Amino acid sequence: MPDVQSTVVEFVNKLRKRKIEGSQATAKCTVELLRSVISYQRVPHANQAAALIDAVKAVGQQLVAANPVELAVGNVVRRVLHIIREEDLSLTTAAMAGLDLLDASDDDDVDNCKGIGYPAMSAAVVAAAARSTLRPPSLQTLLEGTPESATVPYTSSSGADSESKTADKSSLTRKLKHDVIEGVNQLIHEIAGCHEQIAEQAIEHIHQNEVILTLGSSRTVLEFLCAAKEKKRSFRVFVAEGAPRYQGHLLAKELVARGLQTTVITDSAVFAMISRVNMVHIQSCPVLYFPVLSF
C-alpha cells in the first residue's frame, strides 16, 4: 500500500501541525483515510477480520499519537473497528447457520453425523460460537462459551467440495470488505449530518426566557442554539471568551449575526453568572477528555 502509506504520513503531519481544526473535519478526514486503508488492504482467506483490524489499529495508533488531544480520531477508529467486528460476526453467524440448515436438510447425513458423534447445531450454539470467535477471553465469554454439543458437523471431502470451498472463501472475502466499506460510508454520512441531528432536539431542551451559558466556539452549540431560535424560542446567551485563544468572541459574533441576544463575559465572571443561568451548553470534548493510545 505505497500510496495509502504516503497518505497516512501526510495526514499524520497535518494532525501534528494542527492544520485540521474542528472535530467534524478531523473525524471526516480520519474515516475517509481508514476507508482507503481497508480498500487497499490485502485480506487472506483465513482471519480476514483480524487482518483488517490489525491494519486499522496500526494506522489508528499513528493518528492518535500525532494529536492525542483530538478525541475525534480515537473515537472514529473505534467505530470503524466496531463495524469490522460487527460485519464479521454477521457473516460468521450466517455461514454457520447455513451449514446447520444444510446439515438438517439431509436426513441421511444427519443420521450419519449422530452415529459418529457430530450433532446438528442449534441457533443458540451458532450465536455463542460466533461471539466466541470475535471476543477476547473473559469471564463473560467463558460463561457464554459453546457447549460440548456444539461441535463442527461432519462433512465429506472431495475435489468438487474443495473447489466450492475455495470459491466460497474468495466470495466471503470480497463480501466482508464490501460490507465493511458500506458501513464506513454510512458512518461518513452520519458524521456529515451530526450537527443537524443534534439540533433537532433543541426545542425539547431550551424553553422560553431562559438564560444559557456556553464556552468557546463550537458549531454543534451554534446550530443547537440557532435551531431553538428558529422555533420561536426567546432566550439569552452568555458566552465565556475562552482565554487565551478567545474563541468565545467568534461564537458570539455568529450568534449575534443570527439574531440571538448574546453577551460576552470574561472567564473569571463565570462564577458570578452561574447563579443566574438556567443551563450550560458546551461541546463534548471538554467533558470526555481522556486520550487513549490503545484500541
Q: What is the pLDDT of residues 272-289, one digit of tens each?
A: 999 999 999 887 765 544
What is the domain partition of the chain in residue ranges?
A: 2-192, 196-281
Q: Which three cell numbers stand for residue 114?
A: 449422530
Give me the pLDDT at residue 104, please.
Answer: 56
What is the tens place of the pLDDT at every residue in 102-123?
Answer: 555 555 554 554 444 444 445 4
What is the tens place of the pLDDT at every residue in 234-257?
Answer: 999 999 998 888 989 999 999 999
Of the candidates 192, 109, 92, 189, the residue with the CA atom closest to the CA atom of residue 153: 109
Class of domain 196-281: alpha beta
Sheet of 235-240: strand order equals 261-265, 235-240, 210-215, 279-281
Question: Is pLDDT of 83 > 90?
Answer: yes
Largest CA distance in the chain: 82
7 or 288, greater pLDDT = 7
Question: Is pLDDT of 97 > 80?
Answer: no
Which pTM was predicted? 0.64
Give me the pLDDT at residue 33, please.
Answer: 95
